[in-house]
Amino acid sequence: MDIQRLENIRKAKELDAILITDQYNMRYITGYRGEGMLFYTAYNKYILTDSRYTEQVEKECEGYECVDIESVGYGKTLSKLISRDIRKLGFENNSISYKVYAGLKNCLTDISFMELDEEIDKLRMIKDDEEIENLRTAEGIGDAAFSHILKYLKPGISEKDIALELEYFMKKNGAEGLSFDTIAASGKNSSMPHAIPTDKMIENGDFITMDFGCIYQGYCSDMTRTVGIGKLSGMQESVYDIVLKAQLTAMEAIKPGMMCNEIDKIARNIIRDAGYGNCFGHGLGHSVGLFIHENPRFSPKCNTVLEPGMVITVEPGIYLPGQFGVRIEDLIVVTESGYMNLTASEKNLIIV
């Protein structure tokens, strides 16, 4: 990242220095993947950490001075670095524990702490070409995992086995980790949007919803597919078609200048008009990057205007407690004229 963007925030907020504690923001700004804090002033750039990571900082962070906090901790170390002309310190109030904050305040008694809210997070909202390529590669691993799992699914396989097979395949095929805990929910369990895989065996007549993603070069993928096992009911097929229509219609409207809540409303209205308005409780989607849930989001509360380079999921769902659920999720990039879908997997109803 161009450090000038951080300097622009410092100037705009009339700050003397900025303290970064969010690990994803620190990686985005510096390239550093370990623990610690970034202390930035107009004249100096420090990464504070302990002896476990000092060598790593030297390898990953050219242009940053590494400061070992040793046994004294972050507060006392910062007090030694702060010069007399630093009086206003911006900090990430959304990503710091009260204990750490209290410790810093206790050591930096002459400093005014200014809350930055989501100002630093916003630096990551627009992805550049390299970031998009990493996201595309991660999503491609997910696509391959979905193709693989279709050959694995059959009655008598447990939800836990399905989740494990997806995770194993992704890691064997280039993933450095998982974006989040894999969801594999079948039958009645699929009515829970964030169900935890169980020992339940999939059966004929089940829907199985699989929500999974992996990490490549630090960047996350995210996709969901719902698959039928054996013969489905007419109601199941109807609900699936409604969810798919909601997703496709909302995606057709994605372009720069649209507000996030407008895209959410398109999908939500289709589901409502079909009689399932109370069965779609979550937002239509969330941004994805170094972290799996970033901003902006497709939700009724988000009025952020779409811009090229934003990467967001589109994932409508209908959940009928005690019966079944359906969710379909793709990962898209907002382009100059519309959107580009990073997810290639089939989403017309598949029955195995």
pLDDT in tens, 281-301: 999 999 999 999 999 999 999
What is the model's pLDDT at position 29? Answer: 97
> Residue 94 sits in which domain range?
4-124
105 shares its domain with 76: yes
217 shares its domain with 331: yes
33 shares its domain with 102: yes
- Which range among 26-30, 79-83, 176-180, 302-306 shows the weakest confidence by mean pLDDT? 79-83
By CB atoms closer than 10 A (0-12, 13-18, 19+), residue 98 is exposed
- Residue from 67, 96, 71, 94 nearest 82 by CA: 67
- In SS3 terms, 197-237 reads as CCCCECCCCCEEEEEECEEECCEECCEEEEEECCCCCHHHH
Q: Is residue 167 part of a domain?
A: yes
What is the model's pLDDT at position 71? Answer: 86
95 shares its domain with 162: no
Q: Is residue 205 part of a domain?
A: yes
183, containing H or E segment: strand 183-186
Q: Is residue 252 part of a domain?
A: yes
Percent of the chain with pLDDT over 70: 100
pLDDT band at 1 (very low <50, low <70, confident <90, very high): confident
Write down which residue in 101, 124, 147 finishes a domain.
124
Q: Is residue 347 part of a domain?
A: no
198 shares its domain with 333: yes
What is the model's pLDDT at position 163? Answer: 98
Write down which residue in 94, 124, 154 finishes a domain.
124
61 shares its domain with 163: no
Give the chain's mean pLDDT.
Answer: 97
Write down which residue in 100, 124, 148 finishes a domain.
124
273 shares its domain with 141: yes
State the average pLDDT over residues 271-287.
Answer: 98
Q: Is residue 352 part of a domain?
A: no
- Residue from 95, 98, 90, 107 nearest 40 by CA: 90
108 shares its domain with 204: no
Q: Is residue 32 part of a domain?
A: yes
What is the model's pLDDT at position 84? Answer: 80
Q: Where are the alpha helices (DSSP H) in 83-233?
A: 98-107, 129-150, 159-172
Q: Is residue 39 part of a domain?
A: yes
Residue 243 pLDDT > 90, yes or no?
Answer: yes
265 shares its domain with 311: yes
Q: Is residue 346 part of a domain?
A: no
pLDDT band at 150 (very low <50, low <70, confident <90, very high): very high
By CB atoms closer than 10 A (0-12, 13-18, 19+), residue 125 is middle
80 shares its domain with 229: no
State the average pLDDT over residues 313-339.
Answer: 98
State the average pLDDT over residues 270-286.
Answer: 98
Domains in the chain: how many in total?
2
Q: What pairs with residue 115 in β-bridges? A: 91
Residue 83 pLDDT > 90, yes or no?
Answer: no
Residue 184 pLDDT > 90, yes or no?
Answer: yes
Provide long-range contacts, Cβ within 8 A and 24+ apart, for 158-161: 158/197, 158/198, 158/199, 158/200, 158/201, 158/202, 159/184, 159/185, 159/186, 159/189, 159/197, 159/198, 159/199, 159/200, 159/202, 159/208, 160/184, 160/197, 160/198, 160/199
Residue 247 pLDDT > 90, yes or no?
Answer: yes
What is the model's pLDDT at position 215? Answer: 98
Non-local (6+) Cβ contacts of 164 within 8 A are none
What is the model's pLDDT at position 199? Answer: 98
Non-local (6+) Cβ contacts of 311 within 8 A are 127, 131, 132, 135, 287, 288, 289, 331, 332, 333, 334, 342
By CB atoms closer than 10 A (0-12, 13-18, 19+), residue 115 is exposed
CATH number at residue 244: 3.90.230.10
196 shares its domain with 139: yes
Q: 179: left (phi > 0), else alpha (psi -120 to 50), else beta?
A: alpha
pLDDT band at 146 (very low <50, low <70, confident <90, very high): very high
